[in-house]
Amino acid sequence: MSETLIKPDIATQTINQLRLLANQMITKAGSGHPGIALGAAPMLYELYANQLVVDPAQPNASNRDRFVLSAGHGSALLYATLHAAGFALSAADLAAFRQPHSKTPGHPEVGVTPGVDATTGPLGQGLGMAVGMAMAEAKLHAQFPTVIDHFTYALVGDGDLMEGISHEVATLAGQQGLAKLIVLYDDNQVSLDGQRARADTADNVARFASYGWDVRRITDGNDLAAIHDAIENAKLSPEPTLIAVRTTIGDSGPYAGTHQAHGTPLTPAQLQALVDDLAVAKQPEFSLDTVLMDQMQDHIAQRLAKQPTPSAADLQAYLAWTQAQSLQPPTLHDNASQQAARTIGKITLQAVAQTWPQLWGGAADLASSTQTTIADSPLFAPDNRTGRNIAFGVREFGMGAVMNGIALHGGTKVFGSTFLAFSDYMKAAIRLSALQQVPVIYVFTHDSVTVGEDGPTHQPVEQLMGLRLIPGVNVLRPGTAEEVAAAWHQALSSIDTPTVLILGRGSLGVQGTPAQAQQAMTAGAAQIVAAPDASINLIATGSEVQLALAVSQQLPQPSRVISMPNLQRFLSLDQSKKAAIIPKDSAKNVIIEAGTTLGWQAVAGDDGLIFGLDHFGISAAPQAVLADVGLVAEVLTEKIMQDLGS
Amino acid sequence: MSETLIKPDIATQTINQLRLLANQMITKAGSGHPGIALGAAPMLYELYANQLVVDPAQPNASNRDRFVLSAGHGSALLYATLHAAGFALSAADLAAFRQPHSKTPGHPEVGVTPGVDATTGPLGQGLGMAVGMAMAEAKLHAQFPTVIDHFTYALVGDGDLMEGISHEVATLAGQQGLAKLIVLYDDNQVSLDGQRARADTADNVARFASYGWDVRRITDGNDLAAIHDAIENAKLSPEPTLIAVRTTIGDSGPYAGTHQAHGTPLTPAQLQALVDDLAVAKQPEFSLDTVLMDQMQDHIAQRLAKQPTPSAADLQAYLAWTQAQSLQPPTLHDNASQQAARTIGKITLQAVAQTWPQLWGGAADLASSTQTTIADSPLFAPDNRTGRNIAFGVREFGMGAVMNGIALHGGTKVFGSTFLAFSDYMKAAIRLSALQQVPVIYVFTHDSVTVGEDGPTHQPVEQLMGLRLIPGVNVLRPGTAEEVAAAWHQALSSIDTPTVLILGRGSLGVQGTPAQAQQAMTAGAAQIVAAPDASINLIATGSEVQLALAVSQQLPQPSRVISMPNLQRFLSLDQSKKAAIIPKDSAKNVIIEAGTTLGWQAVAGDDGLIFGLDHFGISAAPQAVLADVGLVAEVLTEKIMQDLGS
């Protein structure tokens, strides 16, 4: 607090040059979002100049403060500010805003731009990721107080706060008492289509107060001192803090205060008028005045120099803990045979929780059904930050975004579970896991119409194939007990791919060896029952592998049984590797999966048979539902024989 | 208010018999949710005995009060209450709770059970549908005040209120000032996994006050008079009302006040103990004491007898307006040629808005981009209920649920739009449109990587095929201007199927006649360019039809061009009809669609070629992105020729 800040007039000049720079980028690109760049520049300046403890030369340091621009359409302003602060973004990078494969894409992308902590743009999710980062910090800080001790900041707009996910993650943050989470709200009362009041009149400050947050209002978004003081106060607050900053969208520009400011690039003439209006000194193309930049970077360096560093021993302990891992899939005990997949999953989870100490996770209020509680560990809570079980609440989408934030933070591994049908609620977060290449683990149980009595609202049908469509996700539906263990191991070993682990209420068996299970993970499929002279290949996933085995025994012809826990992995193989699992002989391919059939043609081939269901299920006992949809061994056997006879 | 109520002791006996009846059903089924059945019985009783203006003999009357059990797991209690109130649900129906194809499925399903107004279970969405019903009422009441004038009630639990969608729809209801929406909150402080405070400590009453709702608290969920008075007051309030009723989950049962009460059926012994504890008189199996039932039904009949009825002329005017429709697709003007699909969509929307007066809709704060504003009509707003444009706000999921509610209410046709990438946010609502068979219209624009500079967060890749997987949805991606017109017409003409209308930024042309476009809707596909001796069938959707046309012109071999706006419809045809569009000659099938390829094998066949993209796009200008992913005519032509040459 006693810190000396850059003089206000210099700060204002810097801010105005940031405004211009961001708009030069947008105008050159011919698209982008001037409104937030003009309105939110003072907040970005305050964060990078005076608050964020991040060394621009080490933008991935474990203990840096995190910043998530949840209003990701403010990317140009963020890039301009990162450039000014000394991150590795050159004027040429800024000039390449929104050009192919540049370091300055249309919305912030983690891994692409130094200093960008999260991929944002899909509204609301950035706030969720910030909450996840703050949770990870709280956990790690409790265990390694000298190594991890930092704040998490986010900037949100009206769009973020209208999204439902903002409710989910902000209530979670309130319940968790995430004191080191500080959210700036760009409260400009305008959204893309017009004044916010056309669609939304909620009092967001009162709302966040009802969530248990510390709340503050700033009436003038250009009042640097007020923004600074509010953040300094927020750092002392025992609750997460929302600072609502009343700004003018498109401040000082031609469309100030109107929704046209949101996405209309300025013309060159309008840009020049802005230079004049703001009385900005001439600045180099796609950069800032050197003196201003030097001053800002010196100021940042002075701040950073005062930061404590952990001892080598503490750092070593932290690294050892975060990197501990088992090289082998867990060994299943005898009691793993012939049980529901989710139960085998539970046994496996307990095993891997021992060998991966950094694993934590939870469920969207379904832990007792998804069986994903880590034994002998309490809930992660304000008064117990070592707990490995997270009560995510009935907040599927929020859970996904929070998991993404936890994974982006680093240092732990996280899983989250719900029923497969409700993966629909969090699809957008799963996509963002894939886009950000974070190795989060989704555990979706109750994976087919065998959900039974709860009926079609709770019975997934199309979700299984739908998840496989998302690029860069490992969708695993293990078909044997050993495959469950291998799938968990693969998920934990992943460093850049999210995993969706799909487990059912139906029974699995212990067919197949650990080696076969390992092959099924590597190749996407493995033969569970071999038959050199087979006339039929029965290909199934999950609990339908048991159904395939039953059909195999009923068929008079010899048949192979193939478990295919990872369809996409199998399809990515070259022809010879595929043929090693599904021989290119004259055998007919028969697919059995209790879900929509579109997509399976890629394995079945033109002459294959596909058994699934392309309609919703019914409310009845699981076996009655399977009978209703014809997924019983006798029916399938008869149909296959009819087809072969014809 | 001066109304005489059933005497309190009789009411209490009835409530206790409802509690028992619901639990008998659950115990017999061996699954279900006793907690809410025991805790919320007084609220259900009050609603059906004293509030809801619904004739049990006419459960689909246009002007009935609506009731949505958003906490759908309370189905047993709802069915028991409907039975007691005189709806067509027999004791035998109740005994068949959760049995195959019964009228009493595990969660309420509209169309299956008389008196059930919405399919619920997926949490939060019921509240959204109630908001939609109240919006439909507000609109229709303004236009037909004597015909439509009713309240909409909902019952929500903690799970509903933790879901983000509750924020979206409750803020919308607050902004819209939906005075005739009354929500009872079963505030029992317990959710499936335990005490609510483990995951959520939000003050929901203060929260809804911040949304502009009238809020009330009732401290004892068994205080019938307090519940009655609160609802009577709510009916007078100019705002939507939330009544937080503090109840005990599993009230009077063996697990009262704990999360075990949520989903643990009582044993027969526990059921008997409940009879003793509640001092309930002996009641017939799967029914209530006849005297109690008669009294309740007489009381309801007396209330209903006092209701006004509209004049025949008013009713006729209402029916004429709601049923007005065009029998032909709109005729496109000359200016429709070679424009972006969304622009052709805009022209079409203006045309159908003229011939379908009951059409209204809007966007999730993207109307200016999706081009879905109905010209010459204001916003639907508290001070203008005739407006045909809805500002849904940045609330995709909420928009979907509200649309479902509007459609369930009846009397209007509704559409909602956003970018295709953000359909992810509302997937669960689209599924519920399908499950409920409501003909809502989703308009998703910006339908591929041609979104361009906004980058991969905004570029749909997997969404197109993903939506096709949902059973019972018409996914239409028109490939010509005439197909856009035909698609809108098909969407408007649908009475039991939701439509997803997918439009892009890419140009469409005027290839094909209105008749061909009509065929493409009926059969899912149509030849745009015929070629009897073709060696290649180019099959494409949306703006990729233009790409296919360009490829066709570059190929030295003759080729057909087929637009396939509805893949699922095409796949449902019999072989001869398929062959009429894609002849079974030796021509190679080549698919072109700027999305994930899995699924297209069903059309391409084993020897076909599929061009799409199975990875995320990049931030760059649309043409640069298409070049980056190889979706340009020259590249495709060369690849096809290479394939044919090999």
**CATH number of residue A70's parent domain:** 3.40.50.970
Q: Strand B588-592 and strand B536-540: pairing?
A: parallel
ipTM for the complex? 0.98
Does A516 reside within a domain? no
| Nearest residue, CB atoms, B99 vs list A171, A369, A620 | A620
Determine contact, residues A340/A546, Cβ cutoff 8 Å: no
Interface check B615 vs A, CB under 8 A: yes
**Alpha helix positions (H), B416-462:** 427-436
Other Cβ atoms less than 10 A from the Cβ of A170: the count is 31
Our count of domains for chain A comes to: 3
DSSP state of B480: B
Do A119 and A154 fall within a single domain?
yes
Do A452 and A530 fall within a single domain?
no
Phi, psi dihedral angles at B76 (to 5 degrees): -60, -45
List, for residues A44-103, the tens digit of each pLDDT value. Answer: 999 999 999 999 999 999 999 999 999 999 999 999 999 999 999 999 999 999 999 999
CA atoms within 13 A on the CB side of B169: 37
Query: What is the per-residue pLDDT for A337?
Result: 63
Flag whether pLDDT at B646 surpasses 70: no
Query: What is the per-residue pLDDT for B159?
Result: 97
- Name residue, tokens 């007898």: B305
List, for residues B586-641, the tens digit of each pLDDT value. Answer: 899 999 999 999 999 999 999 999 999 999 999 999 999 999 999 999 999 999 99
Structure token digits, residue A395: 């907040």
Does B214 reside within a domain? yes
Do B490 and B431 fall within a single domain?
yes
Do B60 and B177 fall within a single domain?
yes
Q: Which of A517-526, A590-599, B88-97, B499-508 has the lowest mean pLDDT?
A: B499-508
Q: Distance between CA atoms of A326 and A346, rounded to whole angstroms?
A: 18
Other Cβ atoms less than 10 A from the Cβ of A354: the count is 13
End-to-end CA distance of chain B: 85
Indicate the pLDDT class of residue B337, thresholds 50, 70 and 90. low
- Name residue, tokens 């977060």: A429
Considering chain B, what percentage of its residues have pLDDT values greater than 90? Answer: 92
Question: Which DSSP string do the residues of A272-320 spell out, in sequence order?
Answer: HHHHHHHTPPP--TTS--HHHHHHHHHHHHHHHHT-----HHHHHHHHH
Interface list for A 124-163 with B (CB within 8 A)? 124, 158-160, 162-163
pTM higher than the cut 0.95: yes
Burial degree of B319 (CB within 10 A; 0-12, 13-18, 19+): middle
Indicate the pLDDT class of residue B3, thresholds 50, 70 and 90. low
Best B103, B619, B625, B626 member to test A by mutation, with max A CBs in 10 Å, is B619
Determine contact, residues B263/B193, Cβ cutoff 8 Å: no
Q: How far is B320 from chain A (nearest CA, A)?
A: 31
Nearest to A417 by CA among A483, A470, A358, A341: A341
Interface check A435 vs B, CB under 8 A: yes
Interface list for B 153-212 with A (CB within 8 A)? 158-160, 162-168, 171-172, 174-175, 191-194, 197-204, 206-207, 209-212
Tell me the mean pLDDT in the region B226-251: 98
Interface list for B 580-609 with A (CB within 8 A)? 596, 598-599, 601-602, 605-606
**What kind and span of H or E run contains B481?**
helix B481-493
CATH number where B533 lies: 3.40.50.920
List, for residues A252-300, the tens digit of each pLDDT value. Answer: 999 999 999 999 999 999 999 999 999 888 889 999 999 999 999 999 9
Containing structural domain, residue A527? 523-644
Q: Distance between CA atoms of A344 and A332, rounded to whole angstroms?
A: 9
Q: Distance between CA atoms of B490 and A318, rounded to whole angstroms?
A: 61
Best A200, A262, A448 member to test B by mutation, with max B CBs in 10 Å, is A200
DSSP state of B415: E
Does A374 reside within a domain? yes
Interface check B454 vs A, CB under 8 A: yes
Do B126 and B231 fall within a single domain?
yes
Query: What is the per-residue pLDDT for A336?
Result: 61
Flag whether pLDDT at A333 surpasses 80: no
Flag whether pLDDT at B582 surpasses 50: yes
Do A570 and A541 fall within a single domain?
yes
Amino acid, res. A368:
S
Flag whether pLDDT at B392 surpasses 80: yes
List, for residues B30-46, the tens digit of each pLDDT value. Answer: 999 999 999 999 999 99
Q: Distance between CA atoms of B567 and B464, rounded to whole angstroms?
A: 11
Flag whether pLDDT at A194 surpasses 60: yes
Catalytic residue among B109, B163, B396, B593: B396
Q: Distance between CA atoms of B189 and B237, rounded to whole angstroms?
A: 27
Flag whether pLDDT at A1 surpasses 60: no
Do A370 and A470 fall within a single domain?
yes
Nearest CA in chain A to B160: A394
Other Cβ atoms less than 10 A from the Cβ of A538: the count is 32
Question: Which DSSP string do the residues of B388-406 spell out, in sequence order?
Answer: -EEE--S-HHHHHHHHHHH
Interface check A100 vs B, CB under 8 A: yes
Amino acid, res. A622:
P
Q: How far is A204 from chain B (nearest CA, A)?
A: 7
Q: Per the CB < 8 Å rule, is A121 touching B458?
A: yes
Residues of A in contact with B397 (CB under 8 A): 164, 425
- The per-residue pLDDT of chain B, averaged, comes to 96
Q: Which of B459, B479, B508 is the endpoint of a domain?
A: B508
Q: Strand B441-445 and strand A359-363: pairing?
A: unpaired
Q: How far is A149 from chain B (nearest CA, A)?
A: 24
Nearest to B567 by CA among B465, B498, B486, B490: B465
Do B361 and B333 fall within a single domain?
yes
Q: How far is B484 from chain A (nearest CA, A)?
A: 24
Catalytic residue among A168, A396, A482, A544: A396
Does B630 reside within a domain? yes
Flag whether pLDDT at B513 surpasses 90: no
Does A310 reside within a domain? no
List, for residues A119-153, the tens digit of each pLDDT value. Answer: 999 999 999 999 999 999 999 999 999 999 999 99
Q: Distance between CA atoms of A511 and A552, rounded to whole angstroms?
A: 14
- Name residue, tokens 């939330």: B242
Q: Which of A3-17, B387-401, B595-609 has the lowest mean pLDDT?
A: A3-17
Interface check B575 vs A, CB under 8 A: no
Q: Distance between CA atoms of B312 and A422, rounded to whole angstroms?
A: 46
Q: Per the CB < 8 Å rule, is A106 touching B394?
A: no
A60-to-A46, A56, A106, A320, A520 alpha-carbon distances in Å: 21, 9, 22, 18, 35
Does B197 reside within a domain? yes
Q: Distance between CA atoms of B84 and B204, rounded to whole angstroms?
A: 32
Residue B168: active-site member: no
Question: Which DSSP string do the residues of A360-415 spell out, in sequence order?
Answer: EEEESS-HHHHT-PPTT--B-BTTBTT--EEE--S-HHHHHHHHHHHHHH-SSEEE
Flag whether pLDDT at B1 surpasses 50: no
Residues of A in contact with B505 (CB under 8 A): none
Burial degree of A313 (CB within 10 A; 0-12, 13-18, 19+): exposed
Interface check A572 vs B, CB under 8 A: no
Interface list for B 17-46 with A (CB within 8 A)? 29-32
- The per-residue pLDDT of chain A, averaged, comes to 96
Q: Distance between CA atoms of B330 and B341, rounded to whole angstroms?
A: 15
List, for residues B274-329, the tens digit of each pLDDT value. Answer: 999 998 888 899 999 999 999 999 999 999 999 999 999 999 999 999 999 999 99
| Residue A418 bridge partners (DSSP) | A444
Phi, psi dihedral angles at A6 (to 5 degrees): -60, 140
List, for residues B148-182, the tens digit of each pLDDT value. Answer: 999 999 999 999 999 999 999 999 999 999 999 99
Best B103, B189, B205, B424 member to test A by mutation, with max A CBs in 10 Å, is B424
Q: In what order do the strands lie in the sheet with A241-246?
A: A66-69, A152-157, A181-187, A241-246, A214-218
Query: What is the per-residue pLDDT for A249?
Result: 97
Phi, psi dihedral angles at A260 (to 5 degrees): -60, -30
Flag whether pLDDT at B215 surpasses 60: yes
Do A25 and A163 fall within a single domain?
yes
Do A428 and A533 fall within a single domain?
no
Do B289 and B357 fall within a single domain?
no
Interface list for A 398-417 with B (CB within 8 A)? 398
Does A339 reside within a domain? yes
A196-to-A157, A173, A309, A609, B135 alpha-carbon distances in Å: 11, 25, 45, 54, 19
Query: What is the per-residue pLDDT for A334?
Result: 64
Flag whether pLDDT at B412 surpasses 90: yes
Q: Which of A473, A508, A543 is the endpoint of a domain?
A: A508
Does B514 reside within a domain? no
Best B454, B566, B614 member to test A by mutation, with max A CBs in 10 Å, is B454
Indicate the pLDDT class of residue A2, thresholds 50, 70 and 90. very low
Indicate the pLDDT class of residue A339, thresholds 50, 70 and 90. confident
| Nearest residue, CB atoms, B106 vs list A32, A124, A619 | A619
Do A69 and A150 fall within a single domain?
yes
Q: At what angle do helices B481-493 and B514-523 cross, to 10 degrees?
A: 50
Q: Which of A305, A334, A367 is the endpoint of a domain?
A: A305
Q: Per the CB < 8 Å rule, is A455 touching B105?
A: yes
Distance of CA A85 to the CA centre of its chain: 27
Interface list for A 262-321 with B (CB within 8 A)? none
Q: Residue B405 contacts by C-beta under 8 Å, 6 or more apart in sequence?
A: B68, B118, B128, B129, B130, B131, B132, B133, B134, B135, B136
Nearest to A561 by CA among A613, A627, A516, A622: A516
Q: What is the CA radius of gyration of chain B?
A: 27
